[in-house]
Each structure stands twice: as structure tokens, then as C-alpha cells.
């Protein structure tokens, strides 16, 4: 009986430590740890020397790809994302950590690497002050805005084809972040020196990757970190604007998309430029981003023992634009136009890819729990006689649930 009583007290103590947060309070960020525990389940040690926050989320997706005559070409039904995330601090909130694990096949980049890459993020941060902090480990490079925004804060069922082809994604290295207020404006400087090989690599070469991003918020900061969340769920009372630009140089890249994609037969130096803009006001949200990638040599690489076997670097440019309006009852209508255009050197293998999408979201607990229904048209246009054009309609239903 004594042991049972002690166990009951222990369980009660743990319950008092754990709490489920107000889901309306804070946006999920992938560039720093969340240590105030306003989301998920978390606890702090009695002496305040340790904190842990745990969250999980899943995305279940059903996609119909239809031919021009509306007959079904194929159906995609799967768990798109299944994540487990831990945030916290040790000793003080100057030293924080962020760990994210993935369990769905698409999340693990299985098709490109042939191994289950469970670890997505594993970062340790040190905060010198409120304006400057550094990170060490594996995390998102400070590239295009849509990649920086967590997939749990997206208003569409997935990121655009532009992001898929040209994003920097994740890498292992040293990261630095600095922010400063200038009158009513707010600026952020972000940079990284990383391996350039992508996540969970066994070894690296002598080439490194160098990334820099500059962000300007001329009308002040967004409500609840709204520049890291798609759609204006906060209903900004005054106009908010975010402008950004950046550059990345990947020396001796060994994969077709730099940090992602299939292995190349020869390394290449990749240069990426990205620029984006975001405007939010009274439920309206407009975002646009441009990305380009070029290479120092021919983007085509060949196997030394078999010249007929080839892999190419995805070089080209892309533009993605999204417009949405969120009603006060958290129903939202959203539209997207995205186009990815390959450079001339690879048009025998890659098509121009365009998406026209329109749909509706119902936010139950902001982005953490939502229902999404989208339809649209995809045009894959051949730019050479070596490939054929391909067009199809798409219908997507997705449910996201998280804590």
C-alpha cells in the first residue's frame, strides 16, 4: 500500500509538471528551440536547470491524379509526414536544443538514399543575448522562406515545385542568427557554413557550403512570428511586410540538387540565389519567392566506366506565388501559381513544370489541426524533342493533427 501511494504521488507530480498549452499562442519555428512550452507537452525541473517539450504531428494525404479526360491515372494514399519533436534547455535558456525525428517514407528521403533517414534535425543553440545566437548540428539552412517555414505551418498540402527543385534544405554545420531593431524596422541576418552534403551523411569531401540570408521587416515584426507561418490567421491589424534575399555556394556538391537528390558521378560547384516577399493584412496574405541555381561546369555528369550512364544537376529557376484570405471563423481560401523552368542544358531530361492550385482550409486549432481540400492543374511542358509533355488534373484532401 505504501508503494502504491508513493507511485500515485509520483504520477500526480508528473501530471502537474506536464501541461498541454494554449495552441493559439506561438508559431512553430525550425530555426531555434521553443523553450517557453506554449505548445505540446512539457515540463521543467524543480530547480529550473532543465526543460523538455515534446510535440508530435501527422499529415494523412489522399491524392487523385486525373488525365485530361478526367479518368484516374493514379491514386496516392499515404502518411505524408509523421514527426516527433523535442525542444528544451539545459542549465539556462542560453543553452537550448532542438531534435526532430521522422517516420514516414517520404520524410526519410528513402528513394534517394536507400536508407531510412530518421533524424531530420539535431541542433544545439547558444544564445549570447536576445539578438544573437549560434547553432551547431544538423538543421535547415537559411534559404528560401517556404523551406524555412515549417511544414506544420503550411497553408497548402505541400511546398511548391519550386521548393522541391531548388531549395537548400538541411545540412550539418555551424549556423548564426542576428536580429536588430532600427526605428520601426526590424532586420535579421542569418548565415551558415556547412558540409554541403545534406543530412545524415557518413562522410564529406573537402568542399563546404556557404549560405547567407538577409531579412527586412520595414513595418515591424509580425504578430506571433507570423512571418514563419503561411496565411494570415492572426488577422494583422496593420500591414506587415517581410522582404528577404540570399545566396548559397556549394563547393564540390555531390548530389543533383546540392543537399538533396541523387548522387552525381562528378562533383560540381553550385550557386543558388533566392529572394522572397510576404505581405499580411486583415486576413489577406500574399507571398512570392524566386530561386535560381547554376553550376560552374556542364550540369551533366557521366559514369567513368559507362558513358551511357548519366546524372544531371537540376539547374534553372523557379517562381512561386500564393494569395489567400482567412475568415474570422478560420475558414480560408488559397490559390497558388508555381513554375519551375530548367536551363537549356538539361531540357532533354527535365520539363518545365507549372502548377495552378486553388483550395480551402479549415483550421480547427490553427495550423496544428486542419482539414485541407485542393484542386488544380499541372502542366509539364517539354522544351525539347527528347521528352514529351504531360498534363493532368489533381485533387488533394489532407488532414493534419498535432500537439
- pLDDT values of the chain reduced to their tens digit, one per residue, 403 residues: 445 555 444 444 443 333 333 333 457 788 999 887 777 888 888 888 899 999 999 999 999 999 999 999 999 999 999 999 999 999 989 999 999 999 998 888 777 777 788 999 999 999 999 999 999 999 999 999 999 999 999 999 999 999 999 999 999 999 999 999 998 899 999 999 999 999 988 778 889 999 999 999 999 999 999 999 999 999 999 999 999 999 999 999 999 999 999 999 999 999 999 999 999 999 999 999 999 999 999 999 999 888 889 999 999 999 999 999 999 999 999 999 999 999 999 999 999 999 999 999 999 999 999 999 999 999 999 999 999 999 999 999 999 999 8
Query: What are the residue ranges spanned by the domains of the chain?
Result: 21-402
Topology of the domain covering 21-402: Porin (2.40.160)
The pLDDT of residue 125: 98
CB within 8 Å of 1: residues ≥ 6 apart: none
Residue 311: how many CB atoms within 10 A of its CB? 18
For 195, the grid coordinates are 558540409
The pLDDT of residue 386: 93
Contact assessment for residue 39 and residue 403, using Cβ atoms and an 8 Å cutoff: yes
- The pTM of the full predicted model, rounded to 2 decimals, is 0.89
The pLDDT of residue 10: 43
For 323, the grid coordinates are 494569395
Residue closest to 96 by CA, chosen among 33, 151, 155? 33
Amino acid at each position: 500500500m505504501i508503494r502504491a501511494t508513493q507511485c500515485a504521488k509520483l504520477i500526480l507530480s508528473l501530471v502537474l509538471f506536464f501541461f498541454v498549452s494554449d495552441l493559439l499562442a506561438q508559431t512553430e519555428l525550425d530555426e531555434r528551440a521553443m523553450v517557453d512550452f506554449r505548445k505540446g507537452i512539457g515540463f521543467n525541473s524543480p530547480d529550473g536547470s532543465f526543460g523538455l517539450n515534446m510535440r508530435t504531428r501527422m499529415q494523412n494525404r489522399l491524392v487523385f491524379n486525373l488525365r485530361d479526360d478526367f479518368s484516374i491515372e493514379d491514386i496516392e494514399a499515404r502518411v505524408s509526414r509523421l514527426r516527433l519533436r523535442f525542444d528544451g534547455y539545459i542549465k539556462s535558456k542560453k543553452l537550448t536544443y532542438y531534435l526532430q525525428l521522422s517516420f514516414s517514407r517520404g520524410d526519410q528521403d528513402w528513394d534517394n538514399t536507400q536508407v531510412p533517414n530518421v533524424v531530420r534535425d539535431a541542433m544545439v543553440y547558444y544564445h549570447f543575448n536576445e539578438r544573437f545566437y549560434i547553432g551547431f548540428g544538423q538543421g535547415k539552412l537559411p534559404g528560401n522562406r517556404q523551406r524555412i517555414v515549417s511544414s506544420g505551418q503550411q497553408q497548402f498540402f505541400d511546398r511548391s515545385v519550386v521548393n522541391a527543385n531548388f531549395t537548400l534544405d538541411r545540412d550539418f554545420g555551424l549556423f548564426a542568427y542576428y536580429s536588430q531593431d532600427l526605428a520601426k524596422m526590424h532586420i535579421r541576418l542569418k548565415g551558415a557554413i556547412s558540409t554541403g552534403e545534406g543530412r545524415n551523411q557518413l562522410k564529406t569531401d573537402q568542399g563546404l557550403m556557404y549560405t547567407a540570408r538577409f531579412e527586412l521587416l520595414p513595418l515591424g515584426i509580425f504578430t506571433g512570428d507570423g512571418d514563419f507561418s503561411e496565411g494570415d490567421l492572426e488577422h494583422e491589424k496593420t500591414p506587415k511586410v517581410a522582404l528577404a534575399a540570399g545566396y548559397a555556394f556549394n563547393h564540390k556538391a555531390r548530389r543533383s540538387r546540392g543537399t538533396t537528390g541523387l548522387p552525381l558521378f562528378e562533383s560540381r560547384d553550385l550557386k543558388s540565389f533566392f529572394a522572397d516577399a510576404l505581405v499580411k493584412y486583415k486576413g489577406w496574405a500574399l507571398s512570392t519567392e524566386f530561386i535560381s541555381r547554376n553550376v560552374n561546369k556542364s550540369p551533366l555528369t557521366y559514369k567513368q566506366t559507362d558513358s551511357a550512364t548519366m546524372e544531371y544537376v537540376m539547374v534553372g529557376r523557379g517562381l512561386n506565388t500564393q494569395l489567400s484570405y482567412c475568415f474570422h471563423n478560420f475558414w480560408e481560401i488559397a490559390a497558388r501559381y508555381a513554375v519551375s523552368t530548367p536551363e537549356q542544358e538539361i531540357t532533354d531530361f527535365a520539363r518545365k513544370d507549372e502548377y495552378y492550385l486553388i483550395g480551402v482550409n479549415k483550421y480547427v486549432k490553427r495550423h496544428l489541426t486542419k482539414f485541407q481540400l485542393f484542386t488544380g492543374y499541372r502542366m509539364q511542358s517539354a522544351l525539347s524533342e527528347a521528352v514529351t509533355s504531360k498534363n493532368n488534373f489533381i485533387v488533394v484532401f489532407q488532414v493534419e493533427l498535432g500537439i
